[in-house]
Structure 1
Amino acid sequence: MGRRSIRERISGEELLRLLRRSLRVDWREYVALVAYELDGNPFAVLAAIILSQNTSDKNSIRAYERLRRTIGVTPEAILRASYNDLVETIREAGLPRQKASALKALAEAVIEWGGEKYLLEAPPGELRERLMSIRGIGPKTADVFLSLVRKAPGVFAVDTHAARIARRWGLVGEKAGYDEVSRALYSYFGPDNSEEAHRLIIALGRTYCKARKPRCRECPLRSVCPSAQ
């Protein structure tokens, strides 16, 4: 990897405590948490995660709020809406046609599986496989849901922030793929901290560990991060 790993300098539990003290996580800034807090139903959370793909949480939150206000965020409401109306409603989230198709396919699948109860009760591995069989749903979407709603063991969702930071921490190599990054972060933080660590890593990436011009001198991890030395 070319440099030392952060795990040689600080344990995952100690790092998590440092992140908690240093960063603010407001549920209103994360679209999955907005859906979880405002609606609570599992389909709504999955819909919100789909809207968040390849865009900012600000854009996806605006699109989600418009969706719940004008169409609704249940499988039945999504299927009743016309494709074109759905596209226009979620346009602010970006890639509206792709995401509308994914929402339609998800709604149809959930009803076919027996309703939202299945999303809450199916074995996590089986559910992950079924969700990922839907075009437009990848491992990150499935893992965010499994971690946030199901509290499933062995799951660490990886977005662009988590992948970048895991590499900068030396937990994985530069060419590591999704599954390798997910396993490394899960191993580092432990089975009880995945969902919280995921949100704190996003906050760290947004505030300090940016893709371009990271603010290493101001970062609360500057004394332990291999990339800040």
Structure 2
Amino acid sequence: MPERRGIAGRVDGETLYQLLSQSLRVDWRDYVVLVADRLDGNPYAVLAAIILSQNTSDRNSIRAYHSLRRLLGGRVTPEAVLAASEEELIEAIRPAGLARQKARTLREAAKRVIEAGGERVLLEKPPEELRAFLLSIPGVGKKTADVFLSFKRHAPVFAVDTHALRIARRWGLVGEKAGYDEASRALLGLFGPEKSEEAHRLLIALGRQYCRARSPRCSECPLRGLCPYPGRGVEIAREK
């Protein structure tokens, strides 16, 4: 057995998951993916929400998603997105930032989904093929594809956003210079595929509430007795 690195050498993934679940507040209204799934539920709507969340906060992307729904008559579908003009889309999703780029990505994703046979392609393609399909869409990267695969398809992947990458480094699961793929593998190995989607959301909550990029609240963190870095929060933030 290889030596378990960092926090993984102190606690198993199941116990860690339970500690996070018991300690952190997760409200569906604070996550754009959950908002899209609750309000619309169709796979393209979820994909659109993830695209809106790129390089911005959930607060901003949720505002943009509600605005997009109003523009499209109350439901986000690929057909409705293509029926709207690019300028209308840009104005609607402006709160999410990078509005022109994201509008183009939304339209290109809608076009390719329709050409591939409709939204059912997002539910029926084998996960590996679907990941390749999603990554072929300009403006869709690994995180966007993996969030969709994990949330909507329950695929064995671990999506890594800025919170998850920061936490994986601070937990000692990966080195300070590790990138997306290494962190994704380490977190998937720690939590396992069955809990990867919910664990991803818990890491976002942990990053927002305690393990912040600047001024992390190490002394108040529910994992302070297990984390390799308690008390080093300010030092770590400066290193970044």
TM-score norm. by structure 2 comes to 0.92
1:209 aligns with 2:189: no
Distance 1:15 1:76 in 2: 43
Q: Which residue of 1 aligns with 2:116?
A: 113
User: Which of 176, 183, 187 is the aligned partner of 2:185?
Assistant: 183
Aligned residues: 225
What amino acid is the match of 1:204?
Answer: L
Partner of 2:99: 96
Q: Does 1 or 2 have the higher relative contact order (CA < 8 Å, sep 6+)?
A: 1
Q: CA deviation at 1:186?
A: 0.1
The letter of the residue matching 1:161 is: H
Deviation at 1:167, TM superposition (A): 0.2
Equivalent of 1:169, from 164, 171, 176?
Answer: 171
Task: Supply the AA of the counterpart residue of 2:189.
Answer: S
Q: Quick one: distance in 2 between partners of 1:38 and 1:91?
A: 20
1:8 & 1:178 partners in 2: Cα distance? 22
Aligned to 1:6: 7
Q: Which residue identity does 1:149 align to in structure 2?
A: K
Match among 196, 199, 209 for residue 197 of structure 1: 199
Whether 1:122 and 2:110 are equivalent positions in the alignment is no
Distance across 2 between alignment mates of 1:192 and 1:107: 29
Correspondences of 1:1-229 after superposition (within 5 Å): 5-71=6-72, 72-153=75-156, 155-228=157-230
Q: CA deviation at 1:196?
A: 0.7
Deviation at 1:73, TM superposition (A): 1.1
Q: Secondary structure at the match of 1:64?
A: helix
| 1:51, distance to aligned residue in structure 2 (A) | 0.3
Task: Report the CA distance between 1:177 and its aligned residue.
Answer: 1.2
Counterpart-to-counterpart distance in 1, 2:41 and 2:139: 22
Mapped partners of 1:81, 1:17: distance in 2: 45
State the identity %.
70
Question: How far off its partner does 1:176 sit?
Answer: 0.9
| CA deviation string 1:104-143 (max 9, x = no partner) | 1000000011000010000000010111111110010010
1:190-220 deviations in whole A, cap 9, x for unaligned?
Answer: 1211001000000000000000111000000
CA distance in 2, matches of 1:135, 1:23: 35
Structure 1 unaligned residues grouped into runs of 5+ = none
For residue 194 of structure 2, give the secondary structure of its aligned residue in structure 1: coil
Opposite residue 37 of structure 1, the aligned amino acid is R
Runs of 4+ in 1 over 6 A off after TM superposition: none
Distance in 2 separating the partners of 1:165 and 1:184:
11
What root-mean-square deviation, in Å, do the aligned CA atoms of Structure 1 and Structure 2 show?
Answer: 0.8
So what's the TM-score if we normalise by structure 1? 0.97
| Contact kept? 2:155, 2:193, Cα under 8 Å | no
Structure 2 unaligned segments of length 5 or more: list them: 232-240
CA drift of 1:70 comes to 1.4
Q: Distance in 2 between matches of 1:93 and 1:174?
A: 29
